[in-house]
Amino acid sequence: NAGVMQNPRHLVRRRGQEARLRCSPMKGHSHVYWYRQLPEEGLKFMVYLQKENIIDESGMPKERFSAEFPKEGPSILRIQQVVRGDSAAYFCASTPGRGDTQYFGPGTRLTVL
Amino acid sequence: AQSVTQPDIHITVSEGASLELRCNYSYGATPYLFWYVQSPGQGLQLLLKYFSGDTLVQGIKGFEAEFKRSQSSFNLRKPSVHWSDAAEYFCAVGDDYKLSFGAGTTVTVRA
| B45 contacts A43? CB cut-off 8 A | no
- Residue A1 confidence class, pLDDT cut points 50, 70, 90: low
Are the C-beta atoms of residues B43 and A107 closer than 8 Å to each other?
A: yes
> Distance from CA of residue A14 to its chain's centroid?
19
Within 10 angstroms of residue A11's Cβ, the number of other Cβ atoms is: 18
Confidence band, pLDDT 50/70/90 cuts, at residue B28: confident
Judged by CB atoms closer than 8 Å, whether chains meet at B45 and A104 is answered as: yes
Looking at the predicted structure, is the pLDDT value of residue B55 above 60? yes
pLDDT higher than threshold 90 for residue A86:
yes
Question: Does pLDDT of A39 surpass 90?
Answer: no
Strand, coil or helix: A85: helix
Q: What is the largest CA-CA distance in chain B?
A: 42
* CA end-to-end distance (rounded Å), chain A: 37
Q: Which residues of B touch A94 (CB under 8 A)?
A: none
Averaged confidence pLDDT in chain A: 94
Q: Please spell the DSSP secondary structure of B20-54, one letter per residue.
A: EE--EEE-SSPPEEEEEEE-TT--EEEEEEE-SS-
Burial B80-95 (b: 16+ CB within 10 A, else e): ebeeebbbbbbbbbbb
Categorize the per-residue pLDDT at A18 as very low, low, confident or very high, splitting at 50, 70 and 90.
Answer: very high
- Distance in Å, alpha carbon of B4 to nearest chain A alpha carbon: 10
Specify the pLDDT at position B41. 75
Question: Is A91–B99 a contact, with Cβ atoms under 8 angstroms apart?
Answer: no
Q: How many angstroms from the chain centroid is the CA of residue A46?
A: 8
